[in-house]
């Protein structure tokens, strides 16, 4: 559901000059390729099978899944916002709104 929301908001998100990705704490690269194709996702997906990226970002959940958070980071690596209340149905619209409010540059 979150992936579809991001896909459906892609034209708005792509107006911003940025890179974004979705991390997966359990799926391997091949599973992510299939998932990305099946959902027509336009963004990069990170395979984090061992949970090291989730741990480094502070979103690791001991049962093996990353917490569903969105972390906004500027070009200098500064964390501008952590959205801990991601709504899977409106994730794409919320992402675009937050990017605008945080002043991310547009293309």
- Residue 63 inside a domain? The answer is yes
Residues 80, 64: Cα–Cα separation, whole Å? 26
Q: Give the domain CATH number at 41.
A: 3.40.30.10
pLDDT in tens, 52-85: 888 888 888 888 778 899 999 999 999 999 999 9
Per the CB < 8 A criterion, the answer to whether 59 and 69 are in contact is: yes
**For residues 24-28, average pLDDT:** 75
The runs of H, that is alpha helices, within 27-106 are 29-38, 52-57, 91-101
Instruction: Please check the confidence at residue 103 and state whether its pLDDT lies above 70.
Output: yes
* 91 located within any domain: yes
Q: Taking 80 as the threshold, does the pLDDT of residue 19 lie above it? A: yes
Predicted pLDDT of residue 25: 63
Q: Does residue 107 sit within a domain? A: no
| Residue-range definition of the domain harbouring residue 57 | 2-101
Tell whether 106 is covered by a domain.
Answer: no
Both structure tokens of 31? 């599973």
Q: What is the mean pLDDT of residues 84-107?
A: 96
Contact 15, 104 (CB under 8 A): no
Query: What is the tally of structural domains in the chain?
Result: 1
Residue 97 has pLDDT above 80, yes or no: yes
């Amino acid at each position: 559901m979150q992936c579809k929301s991001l896909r459906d908001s892609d034209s708005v998100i792509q107006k911003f000059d940025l890179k974004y990705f979705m991390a997966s704490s359990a799926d391997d690269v091949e599973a992510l390729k299939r998932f990305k194709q099946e959902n027509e996702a336009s963004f990069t997906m990170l395979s984090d099978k061992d949970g090291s990226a989730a741990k480094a970002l502070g979103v690791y959940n001991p049962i093996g899944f990353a917490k569903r958070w969105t972390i906004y980071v500027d070009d200098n690596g500064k964390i501008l916002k952590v959205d801990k209340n991601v709504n899977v149905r409106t994730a794409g619209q919320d992402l675009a709104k937050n990017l605008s409010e945080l002043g991310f540059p547009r293309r």
